[in-house]
Amino acid sequence: MKTSKNSTFNINLHVNQKKIFLCDKPYKLLVCGRRFGKSHELRTEALVAALSFNQPYDPNFPPTVVIAMPTLKQARQVHWKALKGMLKNAPFVQSINNSELRISFKGNKPDVILRGTNEDDGDGLRGLKIYFAAVDEFQDIKVGIWDNTIFPALSDTPGSKALLCATPKGRSHPLYKFYQKIKDLKEWAYFNFYTKDNPHFPKSQLRIAKSQMPPKSYRQEFQASWEDFDGQLFDQLNDSHFISNIPSDLSFYIGCDWGDTNPAFIVVGLSKDYSKFYIVDSWFNQSQQPITQDEFLDKLAAACTKYKIYKTYLPDDRPAAIKSARILGNKQDISGLKRAVQVSRSQLGVMSSIEIINNLFYQNNLFINSSLTEVKSQFQDYHRASDKDGNLLNKPADCQSDHLIDAARYVIALLYVSIQNKTLKLKS
């Protein structure tokens, strides 16, 4: 597109992204499979909206193009570097402010700014005159922020538009209710694309994913299908996953869940070819009486010594306890504690890690020592929450006995992601 007398901005979209781009409806909802290219589409539309702005410009109440995600950290990681790459050496850019995550253009054009929504319930968007709202991972935006903050700011701005990009999370998720509300409104366009609709995505990766994921999960993640899920979160777990003969040639890791009354840890064995996981041992406080941090760390140290643990995974809600674990490891020369890893719970994600574990059950790559009756019970009973009308929600129910599951999530999900990343590096 032409942005000034002597400069242009090149639009590089694949054929199905262009269908979205060329749609002239003011509001668009894009629900698509992984790696379709929704984030690039969203960035492109945001930049074009800013650069093609040709309305009266009030410097006292300037229009703004907002790229929003659930957290500012996500917005920075996903979009900021890409935006700067798209605008590298562009003569129409006036300034790029890294501290404010703001891009300003020459002439009377709206600034492009990045925002997170969930940390402050959308308050950071209040007072803005939003000309274009580009909302990524819309399914994870807190309910009410669109209706109460973003949409009113758009309604107050002539010619305003929005693109919302999302991945479906089941028919019980608020996103599905939002889709049902807008799908027949004349101001809205709805787009639904599969991952395979991206001509640049390798089809071999789809075949691998289809062979490794439960059918419902595959349809949801790669075909953007609105699926119904039952209440059991580990619905691929069955009796064949409880075994008594644990292989002897494993490397061992520990995942921990803090707590004054119910702290817990899980010992996980990993096969030499990094393909199979075994929950071989566990401990959690069954006394219903609080125990001290030192008492728990002593239990952890004993398990590290017994299994020659290579690395311990500790959640980030108690940084002082992590430091104490490392100090104890150095003092007693316990390698597993010296290598203690701090797990970012927000980055890991509850449902994402649950999905990894459920997929491992589906692949028959995760097994549980049949003698661990409490572990077995927690995994079999773990279920979704429901709303006041009895509809299942895409999150675990509260007040479950799940400390051993949390401990398992921290170690298994992070090990799995690390293995996948190393495999990708080797292949590239």
- Residue 11: predicted pLDDT: 74
Domain range annotation of the chain: 15-223, 239-427
pTM across the whole model: 0.65
Please give the radius of gyration of the chain, using alpha carbons only, rounded to the nearest integer.
Answer: 25
User: pLDDT tens digits, the chain, 428 residues: what are they?
Assistant: 544 444 455 678 999 999 999 999 999 999 999 899 999 999 999 999 999 999 888 888 899 999 999 999 999 999 999 999 889 888 999 999 999 999 999 999 999 999 999 988 888 888 889 999 999 999 989 988 999 999 998 988 889 999 999 998 877 778 888 999 998 899 999 999 999 999 999 989 899 888 888 888 888 889 998 877 778 899 899 889 999 999 989 999 999 999 777 899 999 999 999 999 999 999 988 777 888 899 999 999 999 999 999 999 999 999 999 999 999 999 999 999 999 999 988 878 899 899 999 999 999 999 999 999 999 989 998 998 887 777 777 889 888 889 999 999 999 999 999 998 875 444 33
CB 291 within 8 A of CB 263: yes
Q: 239-427 — its CATH code?
A: 3.30.420.280
- Residue 8: predicted pLDDT: 56
Q: Is the CATH code 1.10.10.60 the one for domain 15-223?
A: no
Q: Which two tokens stand for residue 341?
A: 């890893």
